[in-house]
Structure 1
């Protein structure tokens, strides 16, 4: 029981890092943590998810996620322009998804529209003790 409490506490700390690193209402996206839990049948791994709201024209700063993080992103509404690694930037519309391998550089993540909002669900699978979850480029 004590180990699960420690794991849950670490996962919640990761969620807090998502909010503190990325959330800048009015200038960039708004990140809302929605779920965090240790994966019970995969020792040392956690699942963390967040909803990312992009006001019209908003963008995230270029960044990397925790070295162990595999990221799955699903566009809930609107359209999101994303560029991961050396791949060209692409616009993903509601119902489409993409992923980021561990260690990838996320050079572009932004609302593709200057007039309509966009919403993205980001799901991270990562080592429970891998911090911080997101690091903006220097």
Structure 2
């Protein structure tokens, strides 16, 4: 799917689990998110505001592709990492009958969230 093609499926639901400034890494925060992808749910192509992201699949299956690499299916207990500047091109629930649950832990410049709010953590490609 090209970055200009919009899906008609449902977007993921995002809940902030925690947000802490790191005293041992001044200027950085660690933020935990719970992502709930309904059947056929997805996240549009995006980047993460300069954050490093570790994503852990708790339930279901997530089809994830980054930086022009072929998408891969991640199952419960598996993780993937997005480094700063990573272009996350595919993020989809790979199942049609059940939800997929993911925990995403981000280390980001505190100023990104202070100035742009949590919306600044996921910068969608133009056209979304």
Could you say which TM-score interval applies, normalised by the shorter chain?
A: 0.7 to 0.9
Q: Secondary structure at the match of 1:50?
A: strand
Runs of 4+ in 1 over 6 A off after TM superposition: none
Q: CA RMSD in A?
A: 1.1
TM-score, normalised by the number of residues in structure 1: 0.78
Q: Distance in 2 between matches of 1:115 and 1:83?
A: 22
Q: Which runs of 5+ in 1 are unaligned?
A: 1-25
Q: Distance in 2 between matches of 1:73 and 1:82?
A: 10
Match status 1:107 vs 2:89 = yes
Q: Distance in 2 between matches of 1:47 and 1:92?
A: 23
Higher helix share: 1
Aligned residues: 112
Q: Secondary structure at the match of 1:129?
A: helix
Match status 1:129 vs 2:117 = no
Q: Distance in 1 between matches of 2:58 and 2:34?
A: 9
Q: Do the aligned partners of 2:49 and 2:108 also contact (CA within 8 Å) in 1?
A: yes
Q: Which runs of 5+ in 2 are unaligned?
A: 1-8
